[in-house]
């Protein structure tokens, strides 16, 4: 069964500090991994997308890494801001039998990040 | 601006009633999706449609129904058969099933059964 597990479930940090969120997955065959940011009561917004051949991708203060061998990904947030308070969701998609991603995704439960002043 | 519009933002339903959630997109996307989000759980796929007049059940389709009569619209009906309908519902779309870059979510509808 395809699964995505995220840790920690929640995290509290002080403004200006760095943090790292973890994602482990068992989705196979792997197509791509995405990190989303979801503000409370809003839809998820994409931060990064990585395919099998990519092991790091940055989007401003967000840097995602991917280790396809160990099936792990991390999202590192640098110099956190109050606006970073949100849920961060790891999403993995699998290839279908024909070798193309068919768009069905497996979602992690999310890590709730709270940034305090 | 192109995007996905979900309405209403908040919806209250009495037990035993059917209710329909709206999802409209002006991105010219072929594929559309409905997800359910519960606290502490990942999003779960309810239904998806890869093209007009076609849709498939997702992982938790029981108690829900959809239609795809127009490319822009993919409404979700929560029927009285859905035993625990209180949740946050998200609609998404992509240019085609399997599109990685263009996968876009709406802002969600929170449904509460009273």
Q: What is the pLDDT of residues A45-72, one digit of tens each?
A: 999 999 888 999 999 999 999 999 999 9
Which residue did the predictor score with more confidence, A100 or A55? Answer: A55
Per the listing, tokens 């070798």 go with A99
Backbone torsion region of residue B70, taken as left when φ is above 0, otherwise alpha when ψ lies between -120 and 50, otherwise beta: beta
Q: Which of residues 24-63 of A touch B (CB under 8 A)?
A: 31-32, 34, 36, 41-46, 49, 51
Give, as one character, the DSSP assignment of residue B73.
B
Q: How far apart are CA A4 and CA B43, in angstroms?
A: 11
Interface membership of B106 toward A (CB under 8 Å): yes
In this predicted structure, the answer to whether residue A102 has a pLDDT above a threshold of 70 is: no
Tens of pLDDT, residues B2-20: 699 999 999 999 988 999 9
Chain A residues with CB under 8 Å of B92 CB are 43
Of A42, A49, A109, the CB nearest to B42: A109
Interface membership of B39 toward A (CB under 8 Å): no
Structure tokens at A7: 């840790």
Strand pairing class (A101-107; A4-7): unpaired
Q: Average model confidence (pLDDT) for chain A?
A: 92
Q: Do B46 and B104 touch, CB atoms closer than 8 A?
A: no
Start-to-end CA span in chain A (Å) = 41
Of B44, B94, B106, the CB nearest to A43: B106
Yes or no, beta carbons of B97 and A103 under 8 Å apart: yes
pLDDT value for B10:
96
Sort A107 into a burial class: Cβ within 10 Å, 0-12 / 13-18 / 19+.
Answer: buried
| Residue A20 Cα, gap to closest chain B Cα (Å) | 19
Pick from A73-77, B52-56, B80-84, B94-98 the range whose average pLDDT is largest.
A73-77
| Residue A80 Cα, gap to closest chain B Cα (Å) | 23
């Amino acid at each position: 069964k395809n699964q995505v597990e995220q840790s920690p479930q929640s995290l509290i940090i002080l403004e200006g500090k760095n943090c790292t969120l973890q994602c482990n997955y068992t989705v196979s065959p792997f197509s791509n991994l995405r990190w989303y940011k979801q503000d409370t009561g809003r839809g998820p917004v994409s931060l990064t997308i990585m395919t099998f051949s990519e092991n790091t991708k940055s989007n401003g203060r967000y840097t995602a890494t991917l280790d396809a061998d160990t099936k792990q990904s991390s999202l590192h947030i640098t110099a956190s801001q109050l606006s970073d308070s949100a849920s961060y969701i790891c999403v993995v998609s699998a290839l279908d039998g024909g070798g193309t991603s068919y768009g069905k995704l497996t979602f992690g439960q999310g890590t709730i990040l709270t940034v305090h002043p | 601006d192109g995007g996905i519009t979900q309405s209403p933002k908040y919806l209250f339903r009495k037990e035993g009633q059917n209710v329909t959630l709206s999802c409209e997109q002006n991105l010219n996307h072929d594929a559309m999706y409905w997800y359910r989000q519960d606290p502490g759980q990942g999003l779960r796929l309810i239904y998806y449609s890869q093209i007009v007049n076609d849709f498939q059940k997702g992982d938790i389709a029981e108690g829900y129904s959809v239609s795809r009569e127009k490319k822009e619209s993919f409404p979700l009906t929560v029927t009285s058969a859905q035993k625990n309908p209180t949740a946050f519902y998200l609609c998404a779309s992509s240019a085609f099933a399997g599109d990685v870059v263009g996968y876009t979510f709406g802002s969600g509808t929170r449904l509460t059964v009273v």
